[in-house]
Amino acid sequence: MNQVDENGRLRHLLTLEGLSREQLLQLLDRAQSIVDEGADRLLTATAVCTLFFEPSTRTRLSFQRAAQRLGADVLNFEAATSSATKGETARDTLKNIEAMGVRGFIVRHAQDGAVAALAEAANPGTALINAGDGRHAHPTQGLLDMLTLRQAKGDLGGLKVLIVGDVKHSRVARSDLHALRTLGAAEIRICAPASLLPEGEVTAGCRIGDDLDAALEGVDAVMMLRLQRERMEEGLVASLDDYHRDYGLTAARLRRTASDAVVMHPGPMNRGVEIDDDVADGPQSLILKQVANGVAVRMAVLEALLAP
């Protein structure tokens, strides 16, 4: 599925992979201008639908707020309370809601590539936004992370950025990695236990290690990932205590970074596991800023895909 049409215009937002620096900057610049000056209600009388085959209240609310601010009408579909339980395919669900006159779909799905597959089935004029598919991509999270980094640090060109945690299963990490590379981060480090490191291309060009103290030395930004509790049941992590001891971001550890380093987390946080309270709520934390930027980034994406 090519998310960009023959004229280079974005038709869907499925992944940050393959988007050019100019395309990313255009979205970030528009999001920043929304943060600074607000936006007109360009989507009045346009209907968008949150189509979630995997539950996520925060992401849904953020997109819903973005759509509301643009004046769009919002419909919500959640698989748990839907005809998905009557055996209808995701594709039929999409085609049906599309036939109701909905032009934008915000789609979350548990399987890698499921959103791109649905986009193949969409009519011209219908836009899909990937709100997370399996471990594949979460492009608006990647964009909001870049917007947040840029607000704090200016141009990303010279930055050393560290990603800590379960990169193997993280769509957030994959989208961040694509964006960081395209925007030219000086150095990307990854720190995780071997069991949570992905194979293949994902981490190409990154400095990889399993020693958090070493990895933190001199970085400008630390992006923590959520540790899903399933990882213990799967035997990939021994215990939450062990994980916190080896990979938890504490105030003491944070002192190893550049003194003006910033801390980010996509939420929801496991406080006391991957991040301590005094870091999460401390002066270097940009975590709530990320959430605020999320609405602006999603407005910019909805506008880019749907505005007349």
Among the listed ranges 9-17, 44-52, 140-148, 217-225, the one in contact with a second copy (CB under 8 A) is: 44-52
- Which tokens sit at 287? 């975590």
3-state DSSP call for residue 156?
coil
Among 18, 55, 184, 282, binds a second copy (CB under 8 A): 55
DSSP 8-state secondary structure symbol assigned to residue 198 = P
Work out whether 44 is an interface residue with a second copy (CB under 8 A). Answer: no
Q: Are residues 223 and 264 in contact, defined by beta-carbon separation less than 8 angstroms? A: yes
* Least distance from a second copy to the Cβ atom of residue 220, Å: 23
Q: Give the burial string for 269-293 (b: 16+ CB within 10 Å, else e).
A: bbeebbbbeebbeeebbbbebbbeb
Segment lying near a second copy (by CB under 8 A), choices 45-53, 136-144, 156-164, 176-184: 45-53
DSSP assignment, residue 133? E
What tokens appear for 215 in the block? Answer: 């990895």
Where do we find the tokens 């360009």?
Answer: 42
- In this chain, which of 21, 40, 80, 282 binds a second copy, going by CB under 8 A? 80
Question: Mask 219-258, x = binds a second copy (CB under 8 A)?
Answer: ----------x-----------------------------
Q: Is 267 annotated as a binding residue?
A: yes
φ/ψ of residue 163, rounded to 5: -110, 130
Question: 28 with 150: CB under 8 angstroms?
Answer: yes
Taking the complex as a whole, how short is the minimal distance between the CB of residue 280 and a second copy, in angstroms? 9
The residue count of the chain comes to 308
Q: Does residue 65 bind a second copy (CB under 8 A)? A: yes
Is 178 annotated among the ligand-binding residues? Answer: no
Closest by CA position to 131, among listed 18, 14, 227, 17: 14
Pick the closer one to a second copy by CB: 100 or 204: 100
**Segments of the chain assigned E as strands:** 47-52, 73-78, 104-109, 127-133, 160-164, 187-191, 207-209, 221-224, 262-264
Q: Is 59 annotated as a binding residue?
A: yes
Binding mask 102-121 for a second copy (x = CB under 8 A): x-------------------
Of 18, 101, 218, 282, which one interacts with a second copy (CB under 8 A)? 101
Name the β-bridge partners of 78: 52
Minimum CB distance to a second copy, residue 243 (Å): 14
Is 226 labelled a binding residue?
Answer: yes
- Is 58 annotated in a binding site? The answer is yes
Does the annotation list 86 as a binding residue? Answer: yes
Interface positions, 259-298, toward a second copy (CB under 8 A): 267-271, 288-289, 291-292, 294-295
Paired residues of 128 in beta bridges? 105
| Closest CA relative to residue 70, chosen from 302, 241, 305, 308 | 302
Return the DSSP state at 137.
B
Q: What is the DSSP letter of 259?
A: T
CB 187 to a second copy: min, Å = 29
Which amino acid belongs to residue 230?
Answer: E
Size of the site for a second copy (CB under 8 A): 46
Residues at the binding site are: 58-59, 86, 108, 138, 141, 171, 226, 267-268
Residues at the binding site for L-aspartate are: 86, 171, 226
Which residues contact a second copy (rule: CB under 8 A)?
Answer: 45, 47, 49, 55-58, 61-62, 64-65, 68-69, 73, 75, 77-78, 80-83, 86-89, 92-93, 95-97, 99-102, 229, 267-271, 288-289, 291-292, 294-295
